[in-house]
Amino acid sequence: MYSIAIFGGTFDPVHNGHIQTSITLQSYFKFDSFYFLPCKIPTIKPPAQANNEHRVEMLKLAIQNHPYFDIDLREINRDSPSYMVETLQSFREEYQQASINLIIGYDAFLSLPQWHQWTRIIELANLVVIDREHYVQNPVPEAITRLLTTHKKDTKNSLLNSKAGIICFFDAGHYAVSSTAIRNMLKHNQDVKNDLPKEVYEYIKSWGLYQ
């Protein structure tokens, strides 16, 4: 079965944590296609600080030496808010028989009941939950507990051989870096060179972003 990974986010900016997590995921699951999905109009998070063009260009620079990564611009090209359920529906219409796998962080996974039409998401895709904190002991909403009772599988084969409906937890390592922290450090002229791909760091400096 053809397999697709979708890694969504504002990528404001894309950093080494994003890239290393993706490399670890791809090395293990070996998805046939791995898409970074930049968000245009977030519905949960605050709006991005850098504009769409800058964020997409930084993504291009970050993945240019990784031929198995690609960028999908369907949310950037959409004028409406970036509802993941609509994005996954669009992918499903395009890849009707594929295993579609949404990469999602643990905190975002716990907030799933706040998402637009959230119960449809597991009908359209599998979820790969990145538990970077080694199963952080956060309170789990009752709706998520019920979801895990029905859908949780921890095997790679069950994920890659299912079009949708599987939840798989995966430890991709812990990277003590976030886009929010990087923006704050740049604003205060602190060094972030080690947190960003070299080309992304140079791009940010050349355009004076996040000042």
Say whether 211 sits in a helix, a strand or coil: coil
Query: Domains along the chain?
Result: 3-175 (3.40.50.620)
DSSP bridge pairs for 105:
130
Which segments in the chain show pLDDT lower than 70? 132-138
Which residue has 């643990």 as its token pair?
Answer: 106
Rounded CA-CA distance 190/184 in Å is 9
Nearest-CA neighbor of 17 among 202, 201, 182, 178?
178
Cis omega (within 30 of 0) for bond into 81: no
**What pLDDT, on the 0 to 100 scale, is given for residue 168?**
93
pTM of the model: 0.93
